[in-house]
Amino acid sequence: MEGDPTLRLRVFDLNCWAIRYLSKRRQERVRLIGDMLQREGFDLVLLQEVWSEQDYSDLKVKLGGYYPFSHYFRSGVIGSGLCIFSRFPILDTLLYQYSLNGYPYMLQHGDWFCGKSVGLDKCWCGIQPLLLGSPQLHAEYCREKDAYLPHRLVQAWELAQFIRHTSKGADVVLLGGDLNMHPEDVGIRLLRGWTGLRDAFAEATRFEVSGRGRAGCQGTPGVSHQPRCLSQGCEDGCTLVPNNCFTDKSELLPFPLGIRIDYILYKAISSFIVKCEELKTTTGAVPGMDVPFSDHEAVMATLHIQRQGQAAGATPSTAEPMLADVVTEARTEVGVGLRVAQQQRYSSGRMAVLALLLLLLQAAAALGALAGLDAGQPFPKLSFCLLAFLAVGILLLATGLYLFHTMEVKMLHGTEEQMRMVLQALQERP
């Protein structure tokens, strides 16, 4: 590849849904993913939700021949679930864990325990350094009443800031992951607008739904790509589709074609240009099998990286007045989340104070009884003890919640403040 002015990169991205004990037919699917990656021979493979280190180790052994370089990012209680396999040497790695990631008491959602992060690898692809990121953002459990939207926006903002600050040392930035946002959502517009990252699906000169050979869905650069693709009958690059046996069909009722929440994004920093030649997705079951690779569809992009004569400036995909609108919209949502968090902090603080008062009252009554001051019927000992334990339990729980919501308020406030600074800078620019 050395000396070759163009580099053709085949990139694979998949949310593997490989949670030990919980994900259906996990081991079989991980084996199928390994077989396919070995057969297809991509250049870079970005996987999310590989929660079991054993699965990663098995994949590493299996893929070692074709992908000699790999990295598994560790964080949180369960792990980040992120790993990268590469044909090119990995020079350096960095993990950024988002400051907010749901609530520890929402056990049924469990995002808090995952330590959701963006994992960054710096690779040396022949002639140029390439920054390779694999992010995952907080899941959306209810689109109509999305309690996690402010957290996801903080994550999208932190991801954008992280990419902006770390990308200067590379020629090309490549991001592939499950962003848990629809293409028109404010978070994805914020991420793309503020970093200048381009959406491989929107930029692809050829889009092909794997296994059907429907080609020629020509793309023109733009923020939202859906109407064009829908009108041509494409599956719109969706990665959560109704004909995948593991998806929740009721969740997809308002979206008969499915939704697109997994992305490959890229940008050239210095004197390079990147073009997306082709984009593919899988569609449900693996050919010849009754099981898909995951509950998400894989995204596969073929990118062309070419050196050009002069250095390319930063070319954000969103014009600055539009960017200011997007930041304002995101800031409003973060502000709404901030007020909710302040309210929750106040409620848990009040609950802690009430429990403390109850305990003090009980202590006074107990002291009174000891001093022989209680004239009437004594309070039954068992109920008295149960009440005291209940009060202690509530006090501990409420204090924990108060501390947690204090942290949440701090981070939402910090993000809102950063966005305010950026808006001011955007408005002051000539």
Which residues contact a copy of itself (rule: CB under 8 A)?
A: 71-77, 79, 90-97, 99, 113, 115, 120, 122, 161-162, 164-166, 168-169, 381-382, 385-386, 389, 403, 406-407, 410-411, 413-414, 417-418, 421-422, 425
Strands (DSSP E) contained in 19-89 are 44-50, 69-72, 83-86
Taking the complex as a whole, how short is the minimal distance between the CB of residue 194 and a copy of itself, in angstroms?
Answer: 10
Q: Of 162 and 293, which has the nearer Cβ to a copy of itself?
A: 162
Q: Which lies closer to a copy of itself via its Cβ, residue 200 or residue 324?
A: 324
Residue 430 CB, nearest approach to a copy of itself (Å) = 15
In the complex, minimum distance from the CB of residue 96 to a copy of itself, in angstroms, rounded to a whole number? 7
Q: Which residues does 86 contact at the CB level (< 8 Å), separation at least 6?
A: 43, 44, 45, 67, 69, 70, 121, 123, 132
Tokens of 104: 């520890």
- Nearer to a copy of itself by C-beta: 158 or 295? 158
Pick the closer one to a copy of itself by CB: 171 or 295: 171
Whether 182 is a known active-site residue: answer no
CA distance 153 to 419: 11
Two structure tokens written together for 383: 């109920």
Cβ atoms of 303 and 120 within 8 Å: the answer is no
- Cβ distance to a copy of itself smaller for residue 42 or 73: 73
Pair of tokens at residue 199 = 């959406």
Minimal distance in Å, beta carbon 392 to a copy of itself?
8
Among candidate residues 71, 138, 225, 296, the one labeled active-site is: 296
* Contact between 70 and 85 (Cβ < 8 Å): yes
CB of 72 to a copy of itself, least distance (A): 8
d(C-alpha 67, C-alpha 339), whole Å: 48
Q: 115's torsion region: left (phi>0), alpha (psi -120 to 50) or beta?
A: left
Residue 334 CB: number of other CB atoms within 10 A?
A: 24
Q: Which residues are catalytic?
A: 296
